[in-house]
Amino acid sequence: MCGRTACTLNPDDVSRSCRYKRKNGCKKNPKWVKNKDKYYPSHNKAPQSYSPILLNGNHFLNAGNDCPYVSGDDERVLCAMRWGLIPKWFKGGNVDKVNYSMNNARSDTMLEKKSYKIPLQKGQRCVLVVEGFYEWHTSSAGKQPYYIYFPDKDSDEPSSDPEDDQNENQPPTRLITMAGIFEKTLYENEDFYSFTVITVDADPSFSWLHHRMPAVLANDDEIDKWLDYENVPLDKALELIKPKNCLKWHPVSSFVNNSRNHGPECWKEINLDEIKTSTPTKYKQESKSMMQWLSTAKSSPSKQASVEQPSPSKAKHKVTAGAMDRFVKKAKRESHE
């Protein structure tokens, strides 16, 4: 699955990082055609937020006066869309209170659900572009978040040239590109764009972390085929939707767990070995002090009675004694580490 992403680039840098080669060989930055003002950079983007989406420019050839002029030269364009697909038949209400669970679309069942099947048949294929995403590994110790991203460009990939790098001091960021489905719904008398991320069974290299992963489009050729709904039929495009072994990851802190946190601490790498082997000194000192106090209390009959024989009329004392017992057991374990 895919439940959190990160994209910290401003809109212009998103466009520059999505530079593509047109069919005539010329390179071009895709233009923003809608909702540019609704996208905001963040290290921690959750469903219902607006994310940058690549799609075929032909979807906007006759979009009306509220969109910049789009010509046949605009093979790809950018539009900020709300994460969480809103079906075409949605009527009225508040989209933020919609109960549809459509942040992700499973590849194995999406053609069985008309919410996904209908837009796919209409060619409404899109690509989510982000710097990375997060996934949580579940174990007996709890849930550990990881940040996942594309590795640096391999040596066998085309190297950048002056046309690719308009700013030599800041080369374009390599963005993760995920296959998605978008929908356009009339909401408050305007075209409302939303999307879902397609997910697949995890590649063996990734399955230790989670059993599902986004349908990653690994290179520009795959992006082109997925977006070119006029020349690449759906059955051929779906051949691209499969597990990929092309990602890197590192553990991050639980800071990312709260979707209200948007800072760089979300994707900062942490050392799990240091966390597992270190116990706060302050906690150990408090444990020892508590055990010393308990030893003194047990040597005094009056104090012992106050703990072991609480008044029946004061139930909260029983809870306190129970909590004390749990603390003692935990402190003893810590003292033996």
Residue 153 φ then ψ, to 5° = -55, 135
The helix or strand, by DSSP H or E, that contains position 79, with its residue range, turns out to be strand 76-83
Place of tokens 């790498």: 269
Classified as helix, coil or strand, 220 is helix
135 is catalytic: yes
With a CB cutoff of 8 Å and minimum separation 6, the contacts of 80 are 32, 34, 35, 36, 38, 39, 50, 51, 52, 53, 193
**Catalytic residue, candidates 75, 135, 183, 222:** 135
Query: What is the chain's alpha carbon radius of gyration, rounded to the nearest angstrom?
Result: 27
User: CB count, 10 Å around CB of 292?
Assistant: 10
With a CB cutoff of 8 Å and minimum separation 6, the contacts of 16 are 29, 166, 167, 172
Place of tokens 């809103």: 86
The helix or strand, by DSSP H or E, that contains position 81, with its residue range, turns out to be strand 76-83
The helix or strand, by DSSP H or E, that contains position 12, with its residue range, turns out to be helix 11-17
CA-based angle 305:308:314, to the nearest 5? 95
**Catalytic residue, candidates 2, 7, 67, 266:** 2
Residues annotated as part of the active site:
2, 135
